[in-house]
Structure 1
């Protein structure tokens, strides 16, 4: 959680600095976020292709390592456990 708070804090600080200097941000926020998502997904193409060419299992890798890299640690949520009768 701390890296997210730090990231937001630095972002706000940079925004204030931009405001004081009277400049606009270099990219509209939506376009910048879509670009970052593309970078994260693009990074995962190389290991997936390497696994495909080596004949290694790919789907499990995508569900675990790729998902964790692109979506963050919350992608590793454990499946819900069945409730025990009382």
Structure 2
């Protein structure tokens, strides 16, 4: 969560500097966000494509290339879920 707050703070600081200099942002927000999304997805085309050419299913190829983690980054709460010890009562019920 700290990463998101720092990112927002950096963006706000740049916005204030732009405003003080009477400069418009280089791209409208939606266009800029779509461009960033294109970059993130484009970076995954080759790794996922290699997996697909090897005969792997699309969802498995995305998992093996860790495309979801790369495109989405570390989502809030994900680290706590991965580090939390498993509840023994749920393990016994699933057995």
Aligned-pair Cα RMSD in Å: 2.3
Which residue of structure 2 lines up, in the alignment, with residue 72 of structure 1?
73
Q: Determine if contact 2:41/2:71 at 8 Å carries over to the other structure.
A: yes
Identify unmatched segments of 5+ residues in structure 2: 83-89
How many residues are aligned here? Answer: 78
**C-alpha separation between the residues in 1 aligned to 2:48 and 2:24?**
38
SS of aligned partner of 1:73: coil
Q: CA deviation at 1:56?
A: 5.4
Tell which has more relative contact order, 1 or 2 (C-alpha 8 A, sep 6+): 2
Show structure 1 runs of 5+ residues with no match: none
- The separation in 1 between residues aligned to 2:46 and 2:70, in whole angstroms, is 13
